[in-house]
Chain A
């Protein structure tokens, strides 16, 4: 097989990818073949060293997330088949997709409700603290100083505790925001790949 035949076949097999990505892939293999030929191999040998276009295309598609990969593979066989599968399978995948989305949204709401609860506790403590301070003022007006002191003390203490709980709520909200971004990426991972790859690749290295 000549270089051009190889690249032409590869381009056909990868037609399901964006044109820019196909060009990039072809450029990489063109460079590899040229480098091998420069190293003294014949064109035939250099092309053979790449493996078959099918294997190369497979390796490139392997790096796609699960759903686009399945779509790309099916489309490679036949676009008609993809549409037939999509339509025939719609009673299966439409409810599945809806359920998936519903669960994701519910989980998301639940964790934010948790954070909201902490905020409510903080606000409630602060509110009671303020009321206690008002009561302390009343205590001063009626001249009952032990009561005024005790109320002021409880009020100040509760406001302080509210500040602490508020700090906790803030930290929790921040964590949840971070986590939910992470989960959103995870949930989306069968469909597309984002920057989340970094952590994934690190896990592979560690493995």
Chain B
């Protein structure tokens, strides 16, 4: 997948993963579709970025005698998801065009 596109998808996936209940690092890695190939080393900078942009909030809570950081989406983050979803018709249009052109050429 193209890098820029993947970055956008990843952001949307992570936002979606924390949009319901609050979630934590490993849970997010497990929740996001495996095809995205999300690992902790990708997730960490992404979470920092989203937090800085005000799309998610984080808090530390105790779990089994250690601290765990929980993330939750904000209204800004929800708006970001809507923006992402609003892209869908144009993406579908592009796919349809490519498919048709490819088909016609054969």
Q: Would A28 and B50 be within 8 Å (CB), given that A34-B66, A205-B80, A206-B83 are in contact?
A: no
Tell me which of B25, B45, B67, B80 contacts A59 (CB under 8 A): B45
CB <8 Å contact, A27 and B53 = no
Q: Would A204 and B44 be within 8 Å (CB), given that A36-B26, A197-B52 are in contact?
A: no
User: What residues of chain B lie closer than 8 Å to A39, measured between beta carbons?
Assistant: 26
User: What residues of chain B lie closer than 8 Å to A198, measured between beta carbons?
Assistant: 53-54, 76
Q: Is B7 among interface residues, defined by CB-CB distance under 8 A?
A: yes
User: What residues of chain B lie closer than 8 Å to A36, measured between beta carbons?
Assistant: 26
Flag A94-120 by CB within 8 Å of B: 1 or 0 each.
Answer: 000000000000000000000000000
Q: Is A176 among interface residues, defined by CB-CB distance under 8 A?
A: no
CB <8 Å contact, B68 and A31 = yes
Flag B59-77 by CB within 8 Å of A: 1 or 0 each.
Answer: 0000010111100000010
Q: Is A49 among interface residues, defined by CB-CB distance under 8 A?
A: yes
User: What residues of chain B lie closer than 8 Å to A28, measured between beta carbons?
Assistant: 25, 40, 44, 47, 69
Tell me which of A50, A197, A205, A207 contacts B41 (CB under 8 A): A50
CB B79 to nearest CB in A, in angstroms, measures 9
Of the four ranges (under 10, 10 to 19, 20 to 34, 35 or more), the interface on chain A belongs to: 20 to 34
A39-67 contacts to B (CB < 8 Å): 39, 49-51, 55-56, 59-60, 62-63
Which residue of B is nearest A52, CB measured?
Answer: B41
Question: Would you call the interface of chain A mostly helix, strand, loop, or mixed?
Answer: helix
User: What residues of chain B lie closer than 8 Å to A55, measured between beta carbons?
Assistant: 41
User: What residues of chain B lie closer than 8 Å to A32, measured between beta carbons?
Assistant: 25-26, 29, 40
Q: How far is the CA of A145 from the CA of B29 in the complex (A)?
A: 85
Q: Would A51 and B39 be within 8 Å (CB), given that A63-B45, A198-B54, A206-B83 are in contact?
A: yes
Q: Is A5 among interface residues, defined by CB-CB distance under 8 A?
A: no
User: What residues of chain B lie closer than 8 Å to A205, measured between beta carbons?
Assistant: 8, 11-12, 80, 83-84, 87
CB B2 to nearest CB in A, in angstroms, measures 9
User: What residues of chain A lie closer than 8 Å to B69, measured between beta carbons?
Assistant: 27-28, 31
CB <8 Å contact, A207 and B68 = no
Scoring B8, B42, B44, B69 by chain A CB atoms within 10 A of each residue's CB, the highest score goes to B44
Q: How far is the CA of A31 from the CA of B43 in the complex (A)?
A: 13
Which 5 A-B pairs have CB atoms at the shortest separation, nearest pair first? Answer: A35-B26, A59-B41, A63-B45, A207-B4, A198-B53
Q: List 7 A-B contacts (CB under 8 A).
A: A31-B25, A32-B25, A51-B39, A59-B45, A63-B48, A205-B83, A206-B83
Q: Point out residues on A near B: beta carbons under 8 Å.
A: 25, 27-29, 31-32, 34-36, 38-39, 49-51, 55-56, 59-60, 62-63, 193, 195, 197-198, 201-202, 204-207
In the complex, besides A28-B69, A50-B39, A193-B52, 15 extra interface pairs with C-beta distance below 8 angstroms are A25-B44, A27-B69, A31-B68, A39-B26, A51-B41, A56-B41, A60-B41, A62-B45, A63-B45, A201-B49, A202-B80, A202-B83, A204-B8, A205-B84, A207-B5
